[in-house]
Amino acid sequence: MAAGVELGGLGRLVVKVGSSLLIRADGGLDRSWLQTLIADVATLKERGSDVIVVSSGAVALGASLLGINRRRARLPQLQAAAAAGQVSLVNAYETGLGEFGIGTAQVLLTRSDTENRRRFLNARATLSELLGRRIVPIVNENDTVSTDEIRYGDNDRLAARVAQLVMADALILLSDVDGLYESDPRDDPDAVHVADVRRIDERIRGMAGETRTDTGSGGMATKVEAARIATHAGCETFVTLGSRPHPLEALAAGARHTVFRGNGTPAARRKQWLAGSLDVAGTLEIDAGAAAALRDGGSLLPVGVVSLDGEFRRGDVLRITTGGGRELGRGLAEYGHAEAEKLLGARSDDIERRLGYRGRPVLVHRDELVLFDND
């Protein structure tokens, strides 16, 4: 048995559950298996982890509810199936988590929600708020409005984007195989299991091939692609067998898996990206008090901003300078320039009056800020 994975010690986890695990051969939901997964999630939450579940199964469930044959169905039929199935899917999580006194929320995303920076910030703010309230968000693709050009198409990649979005420490892809093999284990009984991947290169991609299961759309190739996205964001990725009861407990106890090692920590990777971004859209000049607060790890509040420059929008990269024009760091704008202008020098309790609506408390959030080492 391989060494156990210290899941309880990981702060923020994204767990992806494939359709083939949740949906029985007769098209119904496998509630008894789901309850074992939920019990594992409850244990992790008890140990202080934040957990987000990215769950497939809406299309498969809805198709059986509406009597749609998925193999012959057209896109609108599949979308109708997703809309119907999503209700039962989230209901099952809500009931199950409720037994442990844990709240549930449904979050449906499309690809542009994670690729467009403004929407990215919105989705992230919502997910952080939910996690802060000790709720387990159940995420799926918003299949009803996602046509081929704009979809992820598989929840492996969606889960990786969510992991990147929330700066998760680990992404766990529960699968119908226990990890990556050098050759396809279904054709080759002697296929060698790969336990640890430090770099995703052509050789690793070659091993993943192009696999497809009947119930879900992800195969090992999309898992490796998901691992590439997540590890690049500093998030360790695990692929393990999900079909056994208590799959997360099993992983923690050392069940066979493949781990794809993260590249640095999530925060460090994010800051690297910010520091290196070339498309800076504007500048905020801040006072000495704000500069000190940033160095202490704080966010940039409107009260400390003296002037601004540039026609930036929410989500754009801004240069942060001090009085002498020295660049202190960079961060993502929480407001567009017109609103930021109204907020110059505003105390927190004055934000609502200046904007005419409640607004957000910071101009640049500390998670979206990098300071240069220049003093």
Contact positions toward ligand GLU, by CB under 6 A?
19, 56-60, 82, 140-141, 143, 154-155, 216-218
Is the CB of 141 or the CB of 169 nearer to ligand GLU?
141
For the chain, how long is the longest CA-to-CA vector? 70
Is the CB of 176 or the CB of 285 nearer to ligand GLU?
176
Tell me the closest approach of the beta carbon of residue 86 to ligand GLU, in angstroms.
7
3-state SS class at 27: coil
Q: How far apart are CA 246 and CA 228, in angstroms?
A: 26
Q: Using the 8-state DSSP alphabet, how is residue 364 labeled? A: B
Beta strands in the chain (DSSP E): 12-17, 50-55, 103-109, 135-141, 170-175, 180-181, 193-194, 196-197, 236-241, 257-260, 280-286, 305-309, 317-321, 327-332, 369-371
Is the CB of 87 or the CB of 280 nearer to ligand GLU?
87
Q: How far apart are CA 18 and CA 299, in angstroms?
A: 38
For 186, the token pair is 């279904």
Is the CB of 70 or the CB of 313 nearer to ligand GLU?
70
Q: How far apart are CA 273 and CA 30, in angstroms?
A: 42
Q: Using only C-alpha atoms, what is the Rg of the chain? A: 22
Q: How far apart are CA 15 and CA 54, in angstroms?
A: 6
CB distance 56 to 17 below 8 Å: yes
Is the CB of 216 or the CB of 242 nearer to ligand GLU?
216
Tell me the closest approach of the beta carbon of residue 217 to ligand GLU, in angstroms.
4
Tell me the closest approach of the beta carbon of residue 159 to ligand GLU, in angstroms.
9
Q: How far apart are CA 174 and CA 156, in angstroms?
A: 10
Tell me how many degrees the CA angle 126-132-137 measures, rounded to the nearest 5. 55
Is the CB of 42 or the CB of 59 nearer to ligand GLU?
59
For 358, the token pair is 């409640």
Q: How far apart are CA 258 and CA 241, in angstroms?
A: 10
Q: How far apart are CA 148 and CA 57, in angstroms?
A: 18
Is the CB of 50 or the CB of 154 nearer to ligand GLU?
154
Tell me the closest approach of the beta carbon of residue 62 to ligand GLU, in angstroms.
8
- Please name every residue paired with 17 in a beta bridge, in sequence order, or none if there are none: 55, 174
Tell me the closest approach of the beta carbon of residue 5 to ligand GLU, in angstroms.
23
Tell me the closest approach of the beta carbon of residue 375 to ligand GLU, in angstroms.
48
Tell me the closest approach of the beta carbon of residue 322 to ligand GLU, in angstroms.
47
Is the CB of 239 or the CB of 362 nearer to ligand GLU?
239
For 215, the token pair is 């119930």
Is the CB of 31 or the CB of 134 nearer to ligand GLU?
31
Tell me the closest approach of the beta carbon of residue 209 to ligand GLU, in angstroms.
17
N-to-C CA span, the chain:
50
Tell me the closest approach of the beta carbon of residue 158 to ligand GLU, in angstroms.
7
